[in-house]
Amino acid sequence: MRTSDLLRSALRNVRRSRLRTTLTVLALVVGASTLSLTTALGAGVSDYVTRQVDALGADDVLVVTAGSAQTGDGPVTYNPTRSTAAGGGAGLPGAGAAASLTDESVAALQRLSGLRDVRPVRSVALDYVQAGSSPRFELSLSPTGAVAQADLAAGRQLDAAGVADGIVLPQDHVAPLGFAGDAQAVGSEVTLAFTDLTGTQRQVPATVVGVSRSGLLSSGAAVGADFLDSLASQQDAGVGSPGRYPAATARFDPATADVAALKEEVGALGLQAQTIEDQLGVVTTVIAGITGILNAFAVVSLVAAAFGIVNTLLMSVQERTREIGLMKALGMAPRRIFALFSLEAGLIGLLGSVIGVALAAAAGTVISAALVAGPLSGLPGLTLLLFRPQAVVLVVVLIVVIAFLAGTLPARRAARQDPITALRYE
């Protein structure tokens, strides 16, 4: 039998018992759409997180916090380089809420040869920001804004701007401050106001060098390290360094440095060093875990659907005993009979997976758009469900393979059938 004839025959047989095929296909559709939705969710979220990390571009930055030294049971021994006195607002993921860095620990970090540009993170509490005579708006300065790369909507990064008093404004402040657009805001001057320790309100001019999209990591405005230090000193009003910091940032040479070794050295000081990616790693691990569980559910439903295929085809073999017997009597090779039933299984798999994937893509796109426009609108650039062509093809291939495997049992039974038993008339 020619392959084209086998295919036609398989197609016709699949269509023959319509109700049974439909039910089997439905089971596959459920599995296929679940699997595509969960993989799309995983892909969408991890793509978003990856782009956030890439946008930060800070692969040479370590964030050092007074890490928890509590690795075993029992009380923690006193360590003079750590302090558990109430620290300033931590504001960083991973930063201990209670522990903070001291001047000694910053000095110790500076002595480490692998690290350069060690700076304690100093937070400056702004009262408001104003552009010309615009209304005044509250604005927070991101403590690590100086080391991170902003996800720019317009303008340039702080270190590329060559301006000492540069500021990257968050996008949501652009229109309220009276700028016509993101690009128009770049180059303008804004006024930053804060109250120092003596209770006097001070105003400092800053130049907008860029406009950033808000994201998972970046919140608020960013200014250069030196500018931030000067603002912090002014806020201290000459009282001097507070001596306690929520964290410190340091740079290393990603080409030569061994990050793990650096982390260990920092760890030896009783502190904890994390790259920006580490801080996101927790998020990614959680996402991977959740999508993994969802995928497992989808695969279980596919296995159930595979039993449906076995059942459908076994019934079909039973019903077509005579037909199979006749074909064998007329010289059809058992291998071709096997191929015929395997093809039927594969076709059922193809039908179910294509319909399932198409349904998932259609429904998923609508749901994703609605969520991103609604509850998740705070995360611009997020595609909650990302249907990658490779992933979609992979789901279809996986299901067709599962269907084929499920079809081998009935196909073998058909191929081994004895023609004369089938053709005997009693």
Per DSSP, the three-state class of 384 is: coil
Stretch that binds another protein, among 8-16, 41-49, 298-306, 376-384 (CB under 8 A): 8-16
Q: Among residues 11, 12, 135, 293, which is the contact residue for another protein, using CB under 8 A? A: 12
Least distance CB 347 / another protein (angstroms)? 16
In the stretch 207-246, what mask flags binding to another protein with x, by CB under 8 A?
----------------------------------------
Least distance CB 322 / another protein (angstroms)? 6
Q: Do residues 154 and 211 lie in contact, with contact meaning Cβ atoms separated by under 8 Å? A: yes
Least distance CB 349 / another protein (angstroms)? 22
Output the six-digit token pair for 367: 């749901």
Site of tokens 């996101």: 280
Please state, in angstroms and as integers, the Cα–Cα distance from residue 52 to each residue in 13, 160, 211, 243, 373, following that order: 51, 20, 16, 32, 19
Least distance CB 307 / another protein (angstroms)? 26
Least distance CB 313 / another protein (angstroms)? 16
DSSP-assigned letter for residue 378:
T
Output the six-digit token pair for 184: 């128009």
Site of tokens 């702080």: 158
Q: Do residues 107 and 186 lie in contact, with contact meaning Cβ atoms separated by under 8 Å? A: no
C-alpha 53 chain-centroid distance: 10
Residue 416, interface with another protein (CB under 8 A)? no
Number of helices and strands in the chain (H, E): 12, 13
Q: Which residues contact 91 (CB under 8 A, 6 or more apart)?
A: 123, 143, 246
Least distance CB 20 / another protein (angstroms)? 14
In the stretch 321-350, what mask flags binding to another protein with x, by CB under 8 A?
-xx-xxx-xxxxxx-x--------------
Least distance CB 13 / another protein (angstroms)? 8
Q: What is the DSSP string of 298-327?
A: HHHHHHHHHHHHHHHHHHHHHHTHHHHHHH
Q: Among residues 19, 162, 389, 425, which is the contact residue for another protein, using CB under 8 A? A: 425
**Is 258 or 323 the residue whose CB approaches another protein more closely?**
323
Stretch that binds another protein, among 5-13, 27-35, 165-173, 188-196 (CB under 8 A): 5-13
Residue 420, interface with another protein (CB under 8 A)? yes
In the stretch 296-325, what mask flags binding to another protein with x, by CB under 8 A?
--------------------------xx-x
Binding residues for another protein, rule CB under 8 A, total 23
**Is 119 or 320 the residue whose CB approaches another protein more closely?**
320
The strands making up 61-65's β-sheet, listed across from edge to edge, are 116-120, 248-251, 61-65, 272-275
Radius of gyration of the chain (CA): 32
Residues interacting with another protein, by CB under 8 A?
Answer: 1-2, 5, 12-13, 16, 322-323, 325-327, 329-334, 336, 419-420, 423-425
